[in-house]
A and B are shown apart, each in its own frame.
Chain A
Amino acid sequence: MNCQQCQENFDGLLDGRLATPDADAARAHFAACAACGAAWRDYEAAWKAFASAPELEPSSNFVARVMSALDATEREQPASGWILTWPRFLRLGATAAVTAIAVSVASIGLLQKDVNLAMLDQRLHQDLLTELPVIQHLELLKDLDVIRHLDQLSPPVDMEEIEMLLQEILST
């Protein structure tokens, strides 16, 4: 094992992902090579310092708070009940309208994105292009009250279909 191979194995050693013969070879190299031995000690110590650094302690009532927020959200949801009383053909129309709104909202989002992209640094730009999560656009949809309860409409709106639609819009 040469120095480069040895140092490439640091993570495998730290995370227990090296087969025993490779781990033994790396340790033998540390013993013989002062530079790699010192590099390993720093590498390991830096990781241990990170892993043992104190974490933020969440508020003791965090879980209870989320549960009450959840209750509040659930209580709000019958707001979409009015639509359920519509005749079926109207409900289908509403579903189509909601989808259309979803599409236009997503397009607005896309336009805003283009404007904002120009202002962001390249790294952020790259992030947006490669990992833009659809969830972001569903977040955007949440702002419109009608769309807020999409998944509770009857007949149900296929959320996955809308997500796919958004994906398509975003990929063009």
Chain B
Amino acid sequence: MPLDPDAELMVKVRRGSRAAFETLMTKYHKPVINMIFQSISDPVEAEDLAQNVFLQIWKTRSRYKPTAKFSTWLFTIARNMCLNEVRRRARHRAESLDQPPKETADGTEQPLQVADPTAMSADDAALRGELHKQVEAALRTLPEVQRTAMMLLRHKEMPYEDIAKVLGCSLSATKSIIHRARETLRARLKPYLRP
């Protein structure tokens, strides 16, 4: 069976091709940065972490097996590194406050409170309409696994089967994660969808 174009490029990367690596990075850096940004809310740090993701890909390139889809491998590494960063921050916060982060009333994880309005350019802020602001706010209140599923689904409509691999869940669990995330978005955005 012929390899898909990404796997073909990755085979070249394994042999040390920087050009192939650059091509893959050009194709995927935006969704990776956006996925991380939705978890850590700081565009500069999102890029720094994304840079580490790609350096990690390069360093571990010999471990890539062409049987695996490149995008699944990439997003799995991106998600793991992002989770590590979120946990590191949570630990730091827990240690500095000397108490555990509080759960929200509905038992979901506490939305990250790291959004810094000054981190966004004035132009960016002005361009976002009320609905888009609400979308972003709603997305941040989702548990990590649901938020990641939404970001992956948005990225060129990644198939559920691949999303399941990135999340490390069964297909049926993934379907339910996607449904719950969309239900939450629907409930949160409803007031803004129709006058």
Q: Which of A10, A17, A122 contacts B182 (CB 8 A)?
A: A10
Do B29 and A124 touch across chains, with their CB atoms under 8 A apart? Answer: no
A32 contacts B by Cβ under 8 Å: no
What residues of chain A lie closer than 8 Å to B102, measured between beta carbons? 121
Q: Which of B59, B63, B135, B194 contacts A50 (CB 8 A)?
A: B135
Do A58 and B62 touch across chains, with their CB atoms under 8 A apart? Answer: no
Mark contacts of A26-66 with chain B using CB atoms, 8 A cut-off: 1 yes-contact digit, 0 otherwise: 00000000000000001101110111011111110011011
Q: How large is the interface on B (under 10, 10 to 19, 20 to 34, 35 or more residues)?
A: 35 or more
Alpha-carbon gap, A120 to B179, bound state (A): 27
Which residue in chain B gives the minimum CB-CB distance to A8? B179
Q: Which of A42, A121, A131 contacts B101 (CB 8 A)?
A: A121
What residues of chain B lie closer than 8 Å to A17, measured between beta carbons? 160
- Tally of A interface residues using CB under 8 Å: 46
Most buried by A among B91, B139, B143, B150: B91
Alpha-carbon gap, A14 to B94, bound state (A): 40
What residues of chain B lie closer than 8 Å to A127, measured between beta carbons? 83, 87, 144
Overall SS of chain A's interface = helix
B64 contacts A by Cβ under 8 Å: no
Most buried by B among A42, A53, A65, A159: A53
Q: Which of B47, B110, B189, B194 contacts A59 (CB 8 A)?
A: B47
Alpha-carbon gap, A73 to B186, bound state (A): 45
Do B143 and A123 touch across chains, with their CB atoms under 8 A apart? Answer: yes
Alpha-carbon gap, A159 to B183, bound state (A): 42
Alpha-carbon gap, A8 to B182, bound state (A): 12
Do A54 and B84 touch across chains, with their CB atoms under 8 A apart? Answer: no
Mark contacts of B32-69 with chain A using CB atoms, 8 A cut-off: 1 yes-contact digit, 0 otherwise: 01100100000100110011001110110011000000
Do A53 and B91 touch across chains, with their CB atoms under 8 A apart? Answer: no
Do B83 and A133 touch across chains, with their CB atoms under 8 A apart? Answer: yes
A residues near B, CB below 8 A? 8, 10-11, 14-15, 17, 42-43, 45-47, 49-51, 53-59, 62-63, 65-67, 69-70, 73, 116, 119-124, 127-128, 131, 133, 135-136, 139, 151, 159-160
Extra inter-chain contacts (10) besides given A45-B194, A53-B136, A116-B94, CB under 8 Å: A15-B153, A42-B193, A46-B182, A46-B188, A49-B132, A54-B127, A116-B91, A119-B95, A127-B144, A151-B62
28 contacts between A and B (CB under 8 A): A8-B179, A43-B182, A45-B194, A50-B150, A53-B136, A54-B132, A55-B30, A56-B34, A58-B33, A62-B47, A65-B51, A66-B54, A66-B55, A116-B94, A119-B99, A120-B91, A120-B94, A120-B101, A121-B100, A121-B103, A123-B108, A123-B143, A127-B83, A131-B83, A133-B83, A136-B80, A136-B84, A160-B63
B residues near A, CB below 8 A? 18, 21-22, 25-26, 29-30, 33-34, 37, 43, 46-47, 50-51, 54-56, 58-59, 62-63, 77, 80-81, 83-84, 87, 90-91, 94-95, 99-103, 108-110, 127-128, 131-132, 135-136, 138-139, 143-144, 150, 153-154, 157, 160, 168, 175, 178-179, 182-183, 185-186, 188-190, 192-194
Closest 10 pairs between A and B when the two form their complex, measured CB to CB: A133-B80, A46-B186, A119-B94, A53-B135, A46-B189, A46-B185, A53-B132, A45-B193, A123-B109, A58-B33
